[in-house]
Structure 1
């Protein structure tokens, strides 16, 4: 069995225990389990889970605040070869986390944890115990003490086997220290790096990433508002980069796309939420140099007339998806433009929408509109 999700509101503890026993007896080969934190905080339930010999992936979600941390030692002592663990909903004693990581250091490939555990103690040094096996890491809620930041980022750079790294809202007191994790030789195998909402991410950090992470295929720097064009000066070093997301990077200017155009073969470029695309002139025309580009996404970006759509059919022959938002008053103009593109590029799929203004929203709250998210290739 690939997945079993247990979410049940039963008032009787005895009833829950019997149900769990029944499920685990009938489904002894469960490989992935998603379970509430209030259950794994209870020793009797943790013991039941520890009997799942085939368990490979364990995700804990917050069902009850204040339930207490997961009983990690029971999970650590299981006979299962646990490969994936998600412990982001609670703080845990660092000693328990260390015990767990040591016990599973030969099999643990994926972890989602908080930057610090109980007592604001950083978890990254503990993860080094599994440095040889850990391939995917997601770190949440950055709250590392200022005096520990330098050591923390240096330790992160010692997880040499990482293929994927996600750090949301990375906000150290000294942003320049972020570069310590990406120095050449630190994360040479890293293929996917996601640093969303790192608003103070400095240019030097991105330059260091370009030098120190030669295997990158996917780089996402969404809403890194402090970045300037200088951050992309050496991005051409990323010879394998296929997906680049610079959405919301409002500090980029006239040479940014020229730097991006030096990449050998990017497949997907995202420039969402750029208020004024004319800010990227004159180098915005260099998007035409991305010969292998298959997806261009400029949803929710303004002044899209700055984009040379009329030359796409000649220059971007491999383009298969275009995501674009335009003002309602420009509907007729862009319908004509896109109709012409479609006739010349029959394999191109154009996903477009209006740019909403405050006049478009109801003020009497009589109607609720649901927005559908577009799911697309490559991201």
Structure 2
């Protein structure tokens, strides 16, 4: 049975009947206190815990507490959990950087003064994720400070301004832990600022780089070829435009990744019409792809998109997204259902011709139990009805809408009818040629 002293928070020391000592939270070891602090929010760690005493201030900086914490500069709507904190002013950001020196993840949704980035580099040297605004300007000294002080960065998002000069690109290439690099066009007042950037030094550095996103940037084809050849054994994810000038398709450079590339996203379809079939066939040769996103506009020749999923198909593909899939036809959906047996998530948007015959093949995809999205697609509204019966675990987002009809607008007293059905009144049959000419112009 517990003694009365134990109930009151007091305990007797061994061998001492009369000596009594009182225990408190200060007697807990550091490990337990850190475990307690891990349940607190970002704001509580910065604004409360660190102000209690010197010991708590020191423990509040333990790296274990900051592995999942994020700080956002600018828009606060990106913070939706206790592990996030946001500030709108540069002064607030500087205060946080000086207080939370073990901060790992920083997102900047607005441009900031160079001094803010310098404070971040000098104080938060354990930084692993840094996302900068696309209009942020860099000086060479800022780039070198970032590389030297925050050498543990693993994910970096910035404008192409970061690689504007040879020596700046060489500095970035010294990030030994960099795994993900996302580049953006620099925008000033919503206007893109286009200038070349230097890519080759990254090919010889950044040994752990596995993912690169070129966004909508135009890359020199010779530099790109050099980069892809240098990273063919390490690069797993690539996001880039279909081609650089509409004629030189970068897909001709990708066969070296046939066994290594796992994620591919292709922006801005601008392939010349006579090269379309070759381009989609090349996509289908990347046998190890797990995730594929590509736009399929309406100017794609009929049957070309299906070539990415025929000739053996993409057997390992699990996620497929076809945004702006205006050129997706029934034969494309059928080819997907037959050539991608491991598919778990399929998203098709804005397709214009989809029938039940195409979706009747999808029930062969045994692993498609996560999501099927048909947002903005047109065709037979009943195209997906059968899937909900045969695949009860499948989540279908959106519905296939009926195709738009052309209408014939006759005289005010006539009703609206289909364009391919003319009014059958006597007055219409007796109309002269000039009226028929006007009708054809409306059509």
TM-score tier, shorter chain, comes to 0.5 to 0.7
The Cα shift of 1:267 comes to: 3.5
Q: Which runs of 5+ in 1 are unaligned?
A: 277-379
Deviations 1:29-63 (A, max 9, x none): 11111121123132221111011111111100111
The Cα shift of 1:172 comes to: 4.0
The Cα shift of 1:233 comes to: 2.0
- Contact preservation (8 Å) 1:93, 1:118: no
The answer to whether 1:251 aligns with 2:379 is yes
Pick from 146, 157, 174: which aligns with 1:34?
A: 157
The Cα shift of 1:74 comes to: 1.0
The answer to whether 1:193 aligns with 2:320 is yes
The Cα shift of 1:67 comes to: 3.5
Which position in structure 1 is the counterpart of 2:303? 176
Task: Give the TM-score of the pair, scaled to structure 2.
Answer: 0.58
Within 2, Cα distance between the matches of 1:267 and 1:258?
Answer: 12
Partner SS state of residue 175, structure 1: coil
Which position in structure 2 is the counterpart of 1:271? 398
Within 1, Cα distance between the matches of 2:329 and 2:401?
Answer: 19
Which position in structure 2 is the counterpart of 1:135? 262
Superposition pairs of residues 263-342 of structure 1, within 5 angstroms: 263=391, 266-272=393-399, 274=401
Which position in structure 1 is the counterpart of 2:103? none
Q: Which has the larger radius of gyration?
A: 2
Which position in structure 1 is the counterpart of 2:120? none
Pick from 169, 180, 186: which aligns with 1:57?
A: 180
| Higher RCO (CA 8 Å, separation ≥ 6 residues) | 1
- Contact preservation (8 Å) 1:227, 1:251: yes
Deviations 1:315-336 (A, max 9, x none): xxxxxxxxxxxxxxxxxxxxxx
Partner SS state of residue 111, structure 1: strand
Across the aligned residues of Structure 1 and Structure 2, the Cα RMSD in angstroms comes to: 2.2
- Contact preservation (8 Å) 1:142, 1:172: no
Pick from 321, 328, 343: which aligns with 1:216?
A: 343
Deviations 1:72-110 (A, max 9, x none): 111111142210101123211222111111111111111
Superposition pairs of residues 60-79 of structure 1, within 5 angstroms: 60-64=183-187, 65-79=192-206
Partner SS state of residue 186, structure 2: coil
Task: Give the TM-score of the pair, scaled to structure 1.
Answer: 0.67
Moved more, 139-148 or 87-96: 87-96
Within 1, Cα distance between the matches of 2:245 and 2:383?
Answer: 45
- Contact preservation (8 Å) 1:170, 1:195: no
- Contact preservation (8 Å) 1:81, 1:104: no
Which position in structure 2 is the counterpart of 1:373? none
Partner SS state of residue 304, structure 2: helix
Within 2, Cα distance between the matches of 1:8 and 1:176?
Answer: 38
Within 2, Cα distance between the matches of 1:136 and 1:234?
Answer: 25
The answer to whether 1:2 aligns with 2:120 is no
Superposition pairs of residues 228-239 of structure 1, within 5 angstroms: 228-239=355-366
Pick from 154, 160, 167: which aligns with 2:281?
A: 154
Within 2, Cα distance between the matches of 1:10 and 1:224?
Answer: 37
In structure 2, do the counterparts of structure 1 residues 272 and 256 end up closer, same or farther at CA, with 3 Å as the change threshold? closer
Q: Which runs of 5+ in 2 are unaligned?
A: 1-126, 404-443
Partner SS state of residue 219, structure 1: strand
Deviations 1:203-225 (A, max 9, x none): 01100100000000000112212
Within 2, Cα distance between the matches of 1:246 and 1:67?
Answer: 35
Deviations 1:6-25 (A, max 9, x none): 449787x7xx2112212221
Within 2, Cα distance between the matches of 1:129 and 1:152?
Answer: 15
Which position in structure 2 is the counterpart of 1:289? none
In structure 2, do the counterparts of structure 1 residues 255 and 201 end up closer, same or farther at CA, with 3 Å as the change threshold? closer
In structure 2, do the counterparts of structure 1 residues 207 and 144 end up closer, same or farther at CA, with 3 Å as the change threshold? same
Within 2, Cα distance between the matches of 1:252 and 1:133?
Answer: 39
Pick from 234, 246, 249: which aligns with 1:107?
A: 234
In structure 2, do the counterparts of structure 1 residues 241 and 62 end up closer, same or farther at CA, with 3 Å as the change threshold? same
The answer to whether 1:203 aligns with 2:330 is yes
The Cα shift of 1:143 comes to: 0.8
- Contact preservation (8 Å) 1:188, 1:212: yes
The answer to whether 1:120 aligns with 2:244 is no
In structure 2, do the counterparts of structure 1 residues 53 and 252 end up closer, same or farther at CA, with 3 Å as the change threshold? same
Which position in structure 2 is the counterpart of 1:20? 143
